[in-house]
Amino acid sequence: MSEVGNVMAISLRSLQEEAGISSDILCSPCQELTYVADCWFLGLHTFCAKHCIRIHAKADRVPSSAIQHDQFFLDIATSMNFKRQELVDIHIVCVYLQVCTISDIATAVGGSLHLSAWKVEPFSDCRGNLSFLTKIL
């Protein structure tokens, strides 16, 4: 892949990670991403949503959970019709804690949430799975 192609792939993966959702942002552009920073790919996402266009690219851009029935915080928040600022606030906390899914902040057995998550403190023994971002196409 060319240098420009790598930069585009990394930018798209960054936006996917920043969006914090389980669906591919270019394959399901109907979900509004009002809480992420403005960029070229966000403009493409908006254009695709307006014109009902779906762009299918390599599938390894989307983060996945290793746990069955896990959910992404921003999938839940957007389905609950939070206002834009509330989505921004949820997004800021997720980025600060470096988490995307409920399992990222749950205890090992999943019976409760890690105490540090309740205090909104980063914790070293429960990190989100954001390694998909560093893969090169």
pLDDT tens digits for range 75-118: 888 889 888 899 889 888 888 888 888 888 887 777 777 777 77
- pLDDT over 70 (residue 51): yes
Torsion of CA 108, 134, 101, 26, to 10 degrees: -160
Range of the structural domain that residue 123 is part of: 3-134
Q: How many domains does the chain have?
A: 1
Indicate the pLDDT class of residue 46, thresholds 50, 70 and 90.
confident
Q: Is there a contact between 13 and 61 (Cβ–Cβ < 8 Å)?
A: yes
Here the tokens at position 21 are: 């959702």
What was the pLDDT predicted at 134? 40
Strand, coil or helix: what is 63? coil
- pLDDT over 70 (residue 57): no
Return d(Cα 122, Cα 81) in angstroms, integer. Answer: 27
What was the pLDDT predicted at 39? 82
**For residue 6, what are the contacts with CB-CB under 8 A and spacing of at least 6?**
136, 137
